[in-house]
Chain A
Amino acid sequence: VAARLRGRPPVRTLIARTHTGVDVVGGGNFMDDLLRLAGGQNVIQSGDNSYPTIDREMLVSLNPDVILQIVPGAAPQEIEQAMAFWPTVGQVSAVRNGRVHVLTDSYLLLPGYSVGRIAELLADKLHPQNAEKDQR
């Protein structure tokens, strides 16, 4: 994944880890590492293995270009509620440009043997041009 994305500028990304949209993935953990590998840059710089909660004011000031909302195994009603939140922060670049992706695969927050698949999936969402080129 890293070799494929070499030379591409990192995409400023926020990873939300629940359906609320304000519980996020901070720095110094495997998701942060995978994000970097997949050509992203975590807009939450703080912490060592941190999973902080932020508010809408901070979310707008961070202004990520892509938001990955990871809700493994979420029921449809949770996804619906998750999607209802984003229009309230319409100033955020990712929301304005339609780059909020809700991912529900069960392995996404598990630091196990699926890390390769997770990195591939993140890379596809962050760099869709590359994903299309690969498919061709």
Chain B
Amino acid sequence: VKPWTPARLVKTLLASAGVWAVLAGACLMVGSTGGFGWPNRAALGFRLDVVLLASLVGAGLSSAGVVFQAILRNPLAEPYLLGVSSGATLSAYLWHLPFMTGWLTLGALGSIGEPLFAFGGAVATILIVFFLASRRGRLEPVTLLLVGVIVNAITGSIFLLINSMPWIRDPATPGGSLRFLVGGLQTNLTWHQIWPAAVLIGVAWVALLWFSGQLNAALLSEAEAESLGVRIHRLRWIGLVLASLMTASAVAVSGPIGFIGLVCPHVGRLLVGNDQRRLLPLATALGAGLLAVADAISRALSRPGAAETILPVGVLTGLLGGPFFLMLLWRSRHRALEGG
């Protein structure tokens, strides 16, 4: 690992911002109406909103993916492993129910109620997972993964149970939080509803960048990390809490969009290696840019004669990211066979 300097940091940040700017700029040329080209002022405003929202969500998921993969020392780890998405889905669904009508959903939270409920559900799930998985203040990656998978399954089952009870919600009622099951950018949201997520993702990202040098040590064994002076258990807590908060914020405004948090860190690794100080900014930029691209494809497909509807962007990331995930598995298996 090369020594880190302010100049190197600035260079990395500028290169990453450049990658994002090129991808996001191209996405501004694609709309649901008309051809490929620069839009008029009104359409530009709408496209800018959605490109920035996609970038925010993609950046949050991808950087969370970097941290999860480093701390859990698992290349297949992704931000939803700890049940964040199912917790958010359940909580957002509860917000819709008539018996939830009251001062909290109407007066206090107003129009930001749904995303805030989703965020609250995600955070509550994370707290439960961390509480169950920690022993004497320490987080063991394998226990954490197992508890995350189980809590995810339980929360998902509770959601489906409530959803199938007609006396709780009229089965004729369409929509609701079912759209949280397949992630999609909620283009109806305004910045008034999004800025809390943007602030949280931004602050957590800066904190993660601060710790990114230590994240390199998380890839080593506990003994090796401790010998380098890194307090590995404290680092795990900090990293996982920050990454989970970022994931919760992203899910609150988009639902669970798959594969961005899994694929972008790997693409970044192919380009700059496994030094987390360079990987984190680049993977963030790739996540932001690629989700904006996936959303632009979805917009382009919504034109008459094509899909004629805006596909949930989670469908596209799944279709593109799924094969990539399988390729990673195949390559790692191939390498293991060659090594063995």
Contacts and interface: CB of A to CB of B under 8 A. Distances in A.
Task: Decide whether A and B assemble into one complex.
Answer: yes
Interface of A: 17-23, 26, 45-47, 50, 52-58, 60-61, 71-78, 80-81, 84-85, 88, 91, 106, 109-110
Using C-beta atoms within 8 Å of the partner chain, give the interface range for chain B. 35 or more
- The interface centre, meaning the residue of B31, B95, B111 with most chain A CB atoms within 10 A of its CB, is B111
B140 interface: no
A20 B173 CA distance: 13
A117 B330 CA distance: 59
Contact of A52 (B169, B173, B188, B308): B308
A60 B33 CA distance: 10
A72 B111 contact: no
- The interface centre, meaning the residue of A21, A26, A58 with most chain B CB atoms within 10 A of its CB, is A58
29 contacts: A17-B174, A18-B176, A19-B175, A23-B175, A52-B302, A54-B32, A54-B302, A54-B310, A55-B50, A55-B299, A57-B39, A58-B33, A72-B170, A73-B169, A73-B173, A74-B173, A75-B96, A75-B105, A76-B106, A77-B95, A77-B96, A77-B105, A77-B113, A78-B96, A81-B113, A81-B114, A88-B188, A88-B190, A106-B172
Contacts of B105: 75-77
Contacts of A46: 304, 308
B131 interface: no
B175 A18 contact: yes
Nearest to B306: A46
B310 A53 contact: yes
B47 interface: yes
Interface of B: 31-33, 39, 42-43, 46-47, 49-50, 95-98, 100-101, 105-106, 110-111, 113-114, 169-170, 172-176, 186-188, 190, 299, 302, 304, 308-310
- The interface centre, meaning the residue of A22, A71, A76, A81 with most chain B CB atoms within 10 A of its CB, is A81
Shortest beta-carbon contacts, A-B, top 5: A18-B175, A52-B309, A84-B111, A77-B105, A73-B170
A57 B48 CA distance: 11
Given A76-B101, A77-B105, A55 B46 contact: yes
B170 A60 contact: no
Nearest to B49: A56
Contacts of B98: 73, 75
A20 B186 contact: yes
A106 B170 CA distance: 8
B97 A75 contact: yes
Given A23-B175, A52-B302, A77 B33 contact: no
Contact of A75 (B50, B100, B186): B100
Contacts of A18: 174-176
A85 B188 contact: yes
Nearest to B186: A20
Nearest to A107: B172
A72 to B, nearest CB: 6
B188 A21 contact: yes
Contacts of B308: 26, 46-47, 50, 52
A25 to B, nearest CB: 10
B212 to A, nearest CB: 36
Given A46-B308, A50-B308, A57-B33, A73 B172 contact: yes
B98 to A, nearest CB: 4
B101 A75 contact: yes
Contacts of A26: 308
A91 B42 CA distance: 9
B100 A61 contact: no
Contacts of B49: 56
